[in-house]
Structure 1
Amino acid sequence: MDVLDQLGAVRERKLSRRRFAKGLLAAGVAMTTMPLPARRAMAAEGDQATYFTWGGYDIPELFKPYQAKNGALPNFAIFGGSEEALTKMRGGFVVDVSHPCNQSMPRWVQTGLFQPIDTSRVSNWGDVIPELVDLPGNDAEGGKVWMAPFDWGQTSVTYRTDLFELEGEETWDMLWDARYAGQLGSLASGGDAWWCGAIKAGVDFDDIDSEEAFEKIAAVMREQRPLIRVYTDDTTTLEQALAAGEMVASMTWNSSAVLLQAEGVPVKFAKPKEGALTWVCGVMIHKDAPNLDRAYDVIDSLLSVETGHFMINDWGYGHSNRKSFDAFDEETLAGLGLSTQPVEILQAGHFQQPQTQEWETRMNELFEQIKAGF
């Protein structure tokens, strides 16, 4: 199948965007963006649940149990950051389930737009790792929870070991290295980049909402701005640029390094001496979910062992179902930066903490100004 045929398959949802990207990497083709039309929600057969999620999570590999039960994939709507998603839902966009992360979840709850999850309706709930459920603000009345944890992992620096000359230990300073001006990349969302800037600036996450913290983080982000080739939350763009050698290092999630390594690109997912950024993401149900039964089917599918195997093996992410780890030995997990004990990984880094809506708004506005050169 040539590239044009593959593009057609992606548009018809016969081929995932990630598998398409892998094919290009294997063929040595680099691109800066996926030439796909903008979309609001992908149509599925019949009256299916709508899943509002990050780009890249709209793939069949995560929904085999759902598809087997319902005869089709869910509908998908895509966002680039959790604040964008929440703003859209506040504006009246109704979905069945959405995909926030731990630092955003309490703010989402406070909007009144979501309903507690009845865990008795989730067949895989008994296998969910308890520490991933016991997050600040995740307890609802009657033993229910607001967010079903799904994936967890790290944000760090993926770098070309053959192109980036490492001086000493791996460090966040790598993304501030003036030697590589114009050859560095970053995730565009403040939900990742601002927090990584806090680590670089030496700001304790307990004090990240202080005026002094804002000034320190803004200063390092402005210092970094002229060095960055691209800010994007399209991880395919970052991966392609690293594979082509257009960039030598970028802020990424675990999955980018795992994908590139699988295709023979000499990259490493850094373990910064200051610690990586760590997070847990999950699924919440909209209070007006039009397909509630199938909303629970989405959750069950995402929490399944089958989905967990894919997440760990293909993306290098941690999964919330403890049984998902049974197929992997400790050496393999360690090589992915994972463990059957997620607390070990989360506590080894800097775990994001919930902030107020006022903080989130100010942070995003300031970061957007910095990216624009102000």
Structure 2
Amino acid sequence: MKKSSVLLASAAVALAFSAPVRAADPGLLVFDWAGFEIDGLLTGYVAKNGDKPTYSFYGDDDEAYQKLASGFKADVAHPCSQMVSKYRDAGLIEPWDASKIPAIADIDPQYLQSPIFKDAQGVWFIPTDWGAAAIAYNPEQVPAEDVATLQVFKDPKYAGRISLPNSSDDVWALAYLATGVTDWTNVSEEQFQAAAAWLREVHPNVLSYWADPAEQAQTMASGEVLISWSWNDGVTNLRADNYPVAFQREPVEGSSTFVCGYVNLKDGPGSEEKAYDFINSWLAPTSARALLDNIGYGHSSLKAMETIPMEEQIEAGVGPVNAPILPQVPNDPVMRERQLAEFEKIKAGF
């Protein structure tokens, strides 16, 4: 994620586990992805409390979970939706009190449909931001017809010029789409094996598995990588540095989407009241502009997204598309762990 330059963002991620990275109001510790300490997302919080919360940063969903499961204490954390069941099963979170979050009514209902997020006990996950995983490419060197299909990742013409995220969820979303699957909630053994075989075919073409969008942007800006399976923020980084980049969300097989949000961690060291100040600041309609301009993501609030012209949403890669979509909703935890283990084998060349 980026505020000013790719190099600064990379430095922030490098410090991700030296908590806290950004000390401010000691009354709230936010465990978050690097780059989300954006002024426009925290306007309401700062107005009430005089400063931003204290932040500790991470760069990977699974690593963040492991750190919290190992005893690290914070007040709120920012997982993506497929991780919420792990947080619940481990007893790391407690429900939010929806009566203290008026703008929860403005959240797009599709983001709260799962009983993992909302049940009789309350709301366990407040969706705040969403993005896409799709093809980022250099249009000056890669013809548009080449990225009309996800099979471009296997094309020998681009051997050593491709990067993929070091994220099991995003890589498996790509592999399932490339092998004809758009719903990963009920994957058969045959579908799993086909996706794994596809990833093994792609692996020799991969120059790097990027750890964060800043790293991804750097490899593309250097010219080493021409095609990447990318989040919106990697494209935002590159455009901010005037690098020629396009974002293809409509290959014939489709692309993926993900939604992330905040969970209320049990036994946090800070103020519960300030946790609600934080989430209410995030859900303000004015937050959508800061989120889109700085990171390239869409906001979960329908009212907030109404403040962004549709042409800007499309340009950023959060507008409607005419292609299949694999949403990264919660899936079978056993299958997710199996995918994670298989991905490690594939990266190792097995």
TM-score computed with the length of structure 1 as normaliser: 0.83
Counterpart contact for 1:32–1:241, Cα < 8 Å = no
Counterpart contact for 1:279–1:346, Cα < 8 Å = no
Greater per-residue strand proportion? 2
Gap change, CA 1:259 and 1:221, over 3 Å in 2: same
The one-letter amino acid of 2:118's match is: D
Q: Deviations over 1:137-158 (max 9, x none)?
A: 222326x311111011210010
Corresponding position of 2:108: 129
The one-letter amino acid of 1:188's match is: N
When structure 1 is superposed on structure 2, of 223-232 and 57-66 the one drifting more is 57-66
Counterpart contact for 1:190–1:364, Cα < 8 Å = yes
Q: Deviations over 1:298-334 (max 9, x none)?
A: 2122222232111123433110222323333223323
Choose from 267, 288, 298 the match for 2:245: 267
Distance 2:79 2:322 in 1: 17
Deviation of 1:160 (Å)? 0.2
Distance 2:191 2:71 in 1: 34
Distance 1:32 1:54 in 2: 11
Counterpart contact for 2:255–2:323, Cα < 8 Å = no
Distance 1:208 1:200 in 2: 17
Corresponding position of 1:353: 329
Q: Does 1:330 align with 2:298?
A: no
Deviation of 1:276 (Å)? 0.7
Task: Describe the SS at the equivalent of 2:67.
Answer: helix
Q: Does 1:250 align with 2:234?
A: no
The one-letter amino acid of 1:362's match is: R
Superposed counterparts of 1:36-185, under 5 Å: 36-37=14-15, 39-141=18-120, 144-167=122-145, 170-185=148-163
The one-letter amino acid of 2:51's match is: A
TM-score computed with the length of structure 2 as normaliser: 0.89
Distance 2:185 2:303 in 1: 37
Distance 1:213 1:56 in 2: 36
Superposed counterparts of 1:199-210, under 5 Å: 199-206=177-184, 209-210=187-188
Counterpart contact for 2:22–2:56, Cα < 8 Å = no
Gap change, CA 1:204 and 1:214, over 3 Å in 2: same
Deviation of 1:33 (Å)? 5.2
Distance 1:126 1:194 in 2: 33
Deviation of 1:346 (Å)? 11
Corresponding position of 1:320: 300
Corresponding position of 2:3: 19
The one-letter amino acid of 1:373's match is: G
The one-letter amino acid of 2:343's match is: F
Gap change, CA 1:45 and 1:365, over 3 Å in 2: same
When structure 1 is superposed on structure 2, of 344-353 and 93-102 the one drifting more is 344-353
Corresponding position of 1:223: 201
Distance 2:185 2:27 in 1: 43
Counterpart contact for 1:207–1:213, Cα < 8 Å = no
| Corresponding pairs, count | 346
Task: Describe the SS at the equivalent of 2:116.
Answer: coil
Deviation of 1:235 (Å)? 0.4
Counterpart contact for 2:132–2:318, Cα < 8 Å = no
Deviation of 1:103 (Å)? 2.2
Distance 2:24 2:326 in 1: 42
Distance 2:146 2:222 in 1: 25
When structure 1 is superposed on structure 2, of 169-178 and 222-231 the one drifting more is 169-178
Task: Describe the SS at the equivalent of 2:151.
Answer: helix
Task: Describe the SS at the equivalent of 1:48.
Answer: strand
Deviation of 1:162 (Å)? 0.5
Counterpart contact for 1:48–1:73, Cα < 8 Å = no
Corresponding position of 1:373: 349
Q: Which runs of 5+ in 1 are unaligned?
A: 1-16, 25-30
Task: Describe the SS at the equivalent of 2:68.
Answer: helix
